[in-house]
Amino acid sequence: MTSIAGTDPATVVDLVAQRRGGPGTLTVLGGDAGVRSVTWAAVHDRARRLTTLLRGRGVGSGSRVGLLADTGVGLVTAIQGVWLSGAAVTVLPMPVRRADAAYVAQLRRTIADGRLGLVLVGVPLAGLRPELAAAAPTADLDAAVADAAVYEPATPATPAPDDLAVLQYTSGSTRQPRGVPVTHGNLAANLASIRVATRHAEVHGCLLSWLPLYHDMGLVGFAALPMSCGCPLVLQPPAVFAARPLGWLEAVAAYRATATAAPNFAWGLATRLLGALPRHDTGLRLDSLRFALTGGEPVDPVLMTRFAAAARRHGLDPSVLICGYGLAEATLAVSFSRPGAGLEFDVVDPDELELRGYAVPAGGPRPGRALARLGPPVPGCRVRVVHRVTGRPLGERRVGHVQVAGAGVVRGYWGEPPGPPGGWRATGDLGYLADGELVVCGRVKDVLFAAGRNVYPQDVEAVAGEVPGVRPGGVAAFAVPDDGDKSGHRLAGDRLAVAVESRAWSDGPKAAAVRSAVTAAVAAELGLTPAAVAVLAPGRLGRTSSGKLRRAETRRQFLAGELEPESPPAGPAGTP
């Protein structure tokens, strides 16, 4: 395996050891816990001492260690300490709402599947240790870091490129989470690709993130990357962001952050919050940003355009907005839109896209559908689009299954025989190439077929999300079986159902008004009448640990009667 420059890649361990941590500072904004700052050099010293402690407990090359804790200096130190010991790390997900029995059961399954030899549990979940002890030996993470202070610093391990670095579990948006074995070679190659594609050395001064470290974008982009180069990093625990999302942008302004990233829904929240500020309020300055990435879920062109307009009043240069595409199976990054170009969209004829699978530039009477251009593949990565049935590579602007290959792409899932080195891997997404740039249409498993058309749930969700009273980012669209009309005649294809979160959910007349408005908006915009619209309480929609909608779970709940929607009158599929 070679690096972009053609030499053997250095691992994160090599880079950290060479710099002895680096000159930058790690700062954690912990809400009620206040602000904690420590240099990367100090983190490295603590991690080497923790390595000595871990080796005393049998952790070393070939070991796998689970970490379960909130974002903090202790968790970052433990990640580095595990790597320095020669072991692989699995950062286990924090609960979305509470640590109930279902969450603990899922943790146990993950620990058992990964065959983790030790699980370090920290604040605020240290009380779960007895419940996890049956799955693997456990220890207190914070106590281990503190106790290690009296140990001599260990000599870091020298892992080989093929040694396991991260056993990353997928978010489970369409199925049960699966283990993705990321080697040190995969990790080093993808970090090198990110540095080149984002012009990291030129534009990145201080990185700032609230993304969870158990998700690939948080762990790789906002832990491993700054850890390996020693640049300044500011972290917010995800719960701090959830409690007060505007605090994310306030921290960008306060710390003069040059780079940040978030999924689409967070930029939607930011748009609404910026819009609520007085127009003469110029205290929140975003002019330090040089790289603001939207990724991790489908990019909504309308929403991101609105964010650009709202943030421009606060000094943001719209050209710094970047659309990205990645997945755990590629370590993280697959493509970024062109730095400095701002948001770029491909506007295509929706009929050609839905009926024939061709991404023809719009020009007819019907409004075009805007899709985000996600840029060319990062250096060292390859992308192709293949026919859905034959697997034959397709030409530009033909919609098919997106596949990736390259040094950062893993060879298979945990527990399965590895594929050939450099082989192509399916992403589970539908998309096409336009001028060599990737455009993603949606997830293969989420697309529904109705009235002779391929309907992408993101289109429905974008329209429903514009309805007054619907919570931003709180929409899930999915297919339900066609039960036929009143005469028993089967209709063509699936039926569409939509679930929306709204503060009006408990008020019968107001909820009915939201339901009717969503039905009318989707029918008018897309020519497809929902068979049912469920109006739910805010936070009711199922999400993965990384915040992605779980459409399959929402569909299951709907079919099981657990959402109990009140159905609007529905005509034949495809009629307004």
pLDDT value at 2 more than 80: no
Cα–Cα distance for residue pair 314/249, rounded to 1 Å = 10
Q: Residue ranges per domain, the chain?
A: 343-446, 448-559
Q: Is 68 helix (H, G, I), strand (E, B) or coil?
A: strand
Query: pLDDT category, 175, cuts 50, 70, 90?
Result: low
Q: What is the pLDDT of residue 1?
A: 36
Average pLDDT score, the chain: 88
CATH architecture of residue range(s) 448-559: 2-Layer Sandwich (3.30)
Which residues in 184-282 belong to E strands, given as ranges?
207-209, 233-235, 259-262
pTM of the model: 0.85
Q: Listing from the earlier edge strand, what are the strands of the sheet with 233-235? A: 35-39, 25-29, 233-235, 207-209, 259-262, 291-294, 321-326, 333-336
Query: pLDDT category, 31, cuts 50, 70, 90?
Result: low
Cα–Cα distance for residue pair 330/191, rounded to 1 Å = 11
Q: What is the pLDDT of residue 280?
A: 67
SS (H, E, C) 353-415: HHHHCECCECCCCCCCEEEECCCCECCCEEEEEECCCCCCECCCCECEEEEEEECCCCCCCCC
Q: What is the pLDDT of residue 93?
A: 93
Considering only 157-161, 335-339, 454-458, which range has the smallest mean pLDDT?
A: 454-458
pLDDT value at 6 more than 50: no
pLDDT (tens digit, 9 = 90+) per residue, 91-120? 999 987 778 898 899 999 999 999 999 999
pLDDT value at 576 more than 50: no
Output 155 or 265, whichever has higher pLDDT.
155
What b/e sequence results for 284-313 when a residue is b if at least 16 CB atoms lie within 10 Å of its CB, and e otherwise?
A: bebebbbbbbbbbbbbbbebbbbbbebbeb
pLDDT (tens digit, 9 = 90+) per residue, 438-492? 999 988 888 887 767 788 888 888 889 889 999 888 899 988 876 544 433 334 4
- Of 97, 131, 92, nearest to 113 by C-alpha is 92
Task: Please report the sign of the dihedral spanned by the C-alpha atoms of residue 53, residue 58, residue 60, residue 63.
Answer: negative
Read off the pLDDT of each residue in 507-517 and give the average, rounded to a whole number: 92
β-bridge mates for residue 234, sequence order:
27, 208
pLDDT (tens digit, 9 = 90+) per residue, 226-262? 999 999 999 999 999 989 999 999 999 999 999 999 9
What DSSP element (H or E) covers 269? helix 264-276
pLDDT (tens digit, 9 = 90+) per residue, 397-454? 999 999 999 999 999 999 999 888 889 999 999 999 999 999 999 888 888 877 677 8
Read off the pLDDT of each residue in 328-332 and give the average, rounded to a whole number: 96
List, in order, residues 6 or more apart from 509 with CB less than 8 Å away: none
Considering only 302-306, 310-314, 451-455, which range has the smallest mean pLDDT?
A: 451-455
**Any idea what DSSP says for residue 543?**
B
Percent of the chain whose predicted confidence (pLDDT) is above 70 = 91
Considering only 170-184, 295-309, 310-324, 420-434, which range has the smallest mean pLDDT?
A: 170-184
Cα–Cα distance for residue pair 14/12, rounded to 1 Å = 5
Query: pLDDT category, 7, cuts 50, 70, 90?
Result: very low
Assign a CATH topology to domain 343-446: Luciferase; domain 3 (2.30.38)
Give the CA diameter of the chain. Answer: 80
Q: What is the pLDDT of residue 62?
A: 94
Q: Which amino acid makes up residue 506?
A: S
Considering only 23-37, 138-152, 463-477, which range has the smallest mean pLDDT?
A: 23-37
Q: What is the pLDDT of residue 73?
A: 96
